Amino acid sequence: MRYDLIKYEQASTDLTAKEKIGQLFMPAAFVNDSEEEIVSLEELIATHYIGGICFFHSRASAATNFEGKKKVIKNENSYDTLKLLIKRYQKAAKHPLLIAIDAEWGLAMRIENTPQYPYAITLGALPKNEGHLIFEVGKNIAKDCKSAGIHWNLSPVVDVNNNPNNPVIGYRSFGEDRNLVTGKALQFIKGTQSEGVLTSIKHFPGHGDTATDSHLGLPLINKSRKELDKNELFPFKEIIDQGIDSVMVGHLSVPALSDGKETPSSISKEIIKGVLRSELGFEGVVISDALNMHAVAKNYPEKGELEWLAFDAGNDILCFAEHTKEGISKILENALPDQIEESFERVWRLKEKAFEGGNEVTTLTQPDSLNRRISEKCITLQKGTSSNLAEFTKSEFTAISNIEPSKTIFFKHLRDQLEFDVETLPNADTFRNKNLLVALFPPQVKPNNLFGFNPEDLKILNRLLAVNKVTLYLFGNPYMLNHIEYSQAETVVLAYQNFEVFQKTASNHFLGRVESSGKLSVKTNLI
């Protein structure tokens, strides 16, 4: 659906200072809200001239449910609900809303039963000459955004992840090499831009080397300016030089960039106005990371204070502002007219770009074909040789998994070609001097609590590795390798995702029908 937006020159004259400030606010919208909550947001949009909204799954999603006490609501019709809500909220707005979402690996990041594409760490394993596949991922995700009425995908992540214990970035990063991250992020951006959808690089000045989740606390990056220039800041500088719609500033304490102060980067003038604007020369829209995150929110109990500090530091858009009314009042009371106008113009120009038009999309993409091609190019022979694998394939072996082996696509596909016994990991503790084909499916993608594994199961796995000839296929976060003695395995293969097409590709790799051309984009402890 098309929405008419007046030009900036007219808007600058027609809108009051309060209306202009309202355009800088992007509160959260939730697909699974109650009617009462929906009406409340409609009133907020209409009354305070809100400029945009950012969609999340539910109020129990990761960004808001810090303690994990709220039950996550499942909604089989999330996509249709999303489209209806966007129409309702647009109808409530005096000026068309800029609709945003985090869709790093597709709408599925926030919306059930929508296309899901591989995580960034998976795309990071693709050979350099397969960048067109990342372009296609960005393009397809952009199409899905457009089909729903979304203008702005708040991605990609350009954090260089060099901390295996990072609780919040990790698999969301393309890898730990700055050039790899930059190159692959640019492919994603170009694919997204080809469909006329806006992008944002995040989380400035770099969230890769932290062991603290900024949803819960304030990460400290205690590196020198030289170190930051060499690594964390590098992708931002390179991509800014090539042109980008916006930069999202994270909630990070980086004293080397803020005159020794431990002020969160999202409210630091030294970092936003100094480093990002003056030094890196960024002239586009600066958007804050979600202002409800505990890294900042818990330290500013006075309603509106955090919103004012974020704006005054240089953020043009205040994402997930929880105190919109009070924030608008604080900015109206304290900000200079030129300060308001500068941010308003940036935001309105961005909205003009978003509403320029382009081809309409009414249906969701079908990810399987692209995901299959990615799976075939990213599969990684981390340890061992093709000859080792070919020899093992011809042997008599037992298949083992941490989940019911007979339910895995990987083993199901193999059993169409080969005969072998299957067993679950806990029941395999007594195996000695056997050939074992192990398929690992980490229960979680994040590193906390051993990626969701039972510690006893990992002890059993390590004992099996020590006394058997093991071929290991990992369908999950490769950082999982840090928790097992995988150097004792004969062969280790990284399949990265547990999608059906990835499991089928892995089985074809085991059978020698797919060559391994991927390369792990992060380091693990043992190899």
* Calpha distance 22→47 (Å, rounded): 9
User: Smallest Cα–Cα separation from 516: which of 471, 466, 483, 465?
Assistant: 471
Catalytic residue among 48, 95, 215, 323: 215
Catalytic residue among 289, 312, 316, 483: 289
Residue carrying the six token digits 């909550």: 37
* Calpha distance 164→160 (Å, rounded): 11
Query: How much is the pLDDT for 72?
Result: 67
Identify the DSSP state of 489: S
The rounded average pLDDT for each run of 10 residues, N- to C-terminus, in the chain (527 residues) is 89 98 98 96 98 90 51 82 98 98 97 97 98 98 98 98 90 97 98 97 95 82 96 98 96 96 96 98 97 87 96 98 97 98 98 88 96 98 96 96 92 95 94 96 95 96 97 97 95 98 98 97 78
Take residue 20 and report the two structure tokens written for it. 């202009």
229 is catalytic: no
Q: In what order do the strands lie in the sheet with 198-199?
A: 28-30, 52-56, 98-101, 152-153, 198-199
* Calpha distance 390→512 (Å, rounded): 7
Alpha helices in 199-278 (DSSP H): 225-230, 234-242, 269
368 is catalytic: no
Asked if domains 8-354 and 368-510 share a fold, the reply is: no
Its pTM stands at 0.96
Mention the CATH class of domain 8-354. Answer: alpha beta
* Calpha distance 107→56 (Å, rounded): 10
Cα-to-chain-centroid distance, residue 441? 20
Mention the CATH class of domain 368-510. Answer: alpha beta
Query: Could you state, in order of their start, the residue ranges of all structural domains in the chain?
Result: 8-354, 368-510
Residues ≥6 apart with Cβ < 8 Å to 449: none
* Calpha distance 446→357 (Å, rounded): 38
Query: How much is the pLDDT for 66?
Result: 44
